[in-house]
A and B are shown apart, each in its own frame.
Chain A
């Protein structure tokens, strides 16, 4: 008995010591992956190019706010995280950051004061940044941006997520090695890999996360799970590697068109991807876009799609049913005629480059129906891009359809033409109605 007490007591002391160690031990900061010569100067304009490719603005510029002055709310499964002010303001921004402080934020997710950043900041991806790009980015933020004094609300998550020291455990378990080591067949593919895996941090949304730590299951294409589909909020972030995924079915031109202009012959970007196109992808040099497309095509996997239902072998005769305009049509079909048919038409095919095709659309047939439900409730917009300046808006229908109707309509489009995805329930809709409204219009 006494021995048992002693053992338990010893274990408790051990745990306390480990916890104290975790909480108090000074943080390890990853060093520069390349020793650049003294006096190294990044090429002119490189910093801004990196900032664009890394899409810093997507989070650090609030809607309608000053560039990089922070304040955008990032909705995560554990609560609201406020993106920080990263202008060189000494009081409220990062004006006091040294190069090492800055690198520690990008590589290790550490604030200057040693506090851990939440991994909503994609430092697991930015860790792969080259030292040249770290320098360029540092120079851009410190010297090329004007300081903006703007305080951002403190992120306050509920216990236990407010114990930021816990992120250390997460980091130990989850972080990949720092820096990018070329591993593909060609320089072009390596450029694509670097852009996708490091700067554009595509994996943050498109890679599934493990159930325990929510860490991405892989940070590069050599990992089989990388870019095989994830979720962001209620939205699906589609599988990009399966042989029948949209990214692999589309021609190089169509894939590039979607990424660079927000739209292609059959699809338009929605949700968070619209921000990525608006702030980042449309501004990439053509050679970078070609590298991304080549890379994505090169990492195709010969397997069926992971995060969406497979199409029917024989399409349903939906177009003919709708064209009959029969009063006997079900609720979903009638709602489709009254609300959707004007643009997406009875064929569901919409119109090339303007109205997205619903037949085989990744958001429509996704296992996670939240994107489709959000689209119906709130609408969305394909952003104005330099190549295709029209901001194409789908209006929301939440104001005129109740939860039962939205569920019936979503189920109808998920099960019409060649689509064969599971039904949507009223409860699925109720959960998303009144969720943070990102209505763009």
Chain B
């Protein structure tokens, strides 16, 4: 029998971006808030101190800040016919761990979802008709519009201190910004980061080809900044250690630099690390939750009663907890019925490396979001009927780092070991740049999450099973992008170039890193038979459980998710504060 703790108003599962946002918003509303974090505490400096954090082997290669698969992982298979196997070695995606979550080690690309993306199904039906939706594709509207989310996108950008340039201010196109973005009321809080050589020549080429280049909205700060909570950040020094690393210089927006210092001062907020939540406990009528059961560092099972439960763990951990707790009907792919686990999606990326004998890019000068971008082939700009796919990409040239182990692009034909490889490194280090396509991934009836029938985790619970493979629609999308990227590459006339894009025979490969933007499984919507949470991220069946994060995405965006995840968190927090607390009930 689990030991029972004193009741709290709110228990938050996971103290990353969304846990921190809900934590401070609900603590500021006067509630007593407890956050339970599975991993270690991560203080800005104790753990991220200059220059110990700049250790590519420890953090870049050996994933020092990530969740260890031995502690928690998923099983993966390509199709319903296969037997899933555990993801034992991190590769394809990298769930974060510890206080700050993935907000510690991200690169800082901070996008807003497009208006079209948030009402994708309706947009496709209205503009192109039902016939363009292939059989088995299960895309949906989000149930929340861009206009509704706009103030919350802005709020998150201003909490972070995003460096960027507006392209659409209240409907008026701004030179140098992204003309295809949704209208924003205010410009970014800070001007864009300086542009590096790769960004400059990419931008110049794109402009000459009639595209609209703009700087990537960055959570690497271009100047000193103080946010609404009084938290402070300093300008990025382009050390080139963002992704997989914690920032050494208070220069990357993270829960630590933007929220936690202020939140930890509040006497009605507390948090516990090394506390892994096993399940949400439900009242006997199963319409409300009574709290959560977690296991502490010593292995003791503890019941934490709470009036409100916020699931703010990583995307698939949220889904796993819902399934283990019996909240919502589990999705069954064979029938298409049920909602929890439905519409798991990933992201479709590809890239081309360009080699220039005579250009030196000084790649050790980099920042996680130092990039120039074009959005001319975004979801809202493509004729899905004509091109034969639904989706889109942003195309960009970034220079994030010049780390010696993982950032050694070499021309094709270079030996992969020995003297020839060494010569290749000597000849080409610093002489390459890349152009990438970062694209959407649609949702499908047979891409989903459920409980694994075979494998159990260290607590004896069934593991989460991921069933996923690439589909022709998304392969066609990336091949379309390949043609666009390669035309820009040709325009730049490099000494040589090499491309990597998924093709017709590609299957999902869990080994190489692609993106950590896994989404879905607890999708939001307006129909309780099709979605796991309502438009306020509240579970349909248990009204005091809210589920944050990218698990709410009904299919994946073409963008990096954090900006939208942050906006949804503020949107949900607003609904809880201003509506739910006054009268706790289903909000939709």
Contacts and interface: CB of A to CB of B under 8 A. Distances in A.
Interface of A: 339, 341-343, 345, 350-355, 381, 384, 386-393, 395, 441
B104 to A, nearest CB: 16
A99 to B, nearest CB: 33
Contacts of B49: 393, 395, 441
Contacts of A342: 50, 237, 239, 248-249
Contacts of B296: none
Interface in B208-260: 223-224, 226, 229-235, 237, 239, 248-250, 257
A389 B235 contact: no
B248 A389 contact: no
A382 to B, nearest CB: 10
B232 to A, nearest CB: 5
Contacts of B231: 389-390
A350 B226 CA distance: 15
A441 B232 contact: no
Given A341-B237, A395-B49, A354 B262 contact: no
12 contacts: A339-B51, A342-B248, A342-B249, A343-B250, A352-B224, A354-B232, A389-B230, A390-B250, A390-B262, A393-B44, A393-B45, A441-B43
A353 B235 CA distance: 11
A354 B226 CA distance: 9
Nearest to A391: B261
Contacts of B237: 341-343, 345
A393 B226 CA distance: 16
Interface in B354-398: none
A390 B261 contact: yes
A384 B50 contact: no
B50 A387 contact: no
Chain B, interface SS category: loop
B230 A387 contact: yes
B265 interface: yes
B284 interface: no
B249 A395 contact: no
A352 B232 CA distance: 10
B250 A395 contact: no
B46 interface: yes
A441 B46 contact: yes
B235 A351 contact: yes
B239 A388 contact: no
Contacts of B257: 390
B261 A351 contact: no
A432 to B, nearest CB: 20
Contact of A355 (B230, B234, B239, B261): B234
Nearest to B49: A395
Interface in B22-72: 43-46, 49-51
Contacts of B265: 384, 386, 389
B223 A351 contact: yes
Contacts of B229: 389
Nearest to A340: B50
Contacts of B239: 342
7 nearest A-B pairs in the assembled complex, by CB-CB distance:
A351-B224, A393-B45, A354-B234, A389-B262, A395-B49, A351-B234, A390-B261
Given A345-B237, A388-B232, A390-B261, A353 B46 contact: no
Given A342-B248, A354-B232, A355-B250, 8 more contacts: A351-B223, A351-B234, A386-B265, A389-B264, A390-B257, A391-B44, A393-B49, A395-B49
Nearest to B237: A342
Contacts of A395: 45, 49-50
B232 A353 contact: yes
B250 A353 contact: no
Given A342-B237, A351-B235, A353-B224, A388 B230 contact: yes
B226 A388 contact: yes
A390 B254 CA distance: 13
B174 to A, nearest CB: 26
A222 B43 CA distance: 47
A387 B44 CA distance: 19
Contacts of B249: 342-343
Contacts of B224: 351-355
A381 B43 CA distance: 13
Given A351-B223, A353-B226, A390 B232 contact: yes
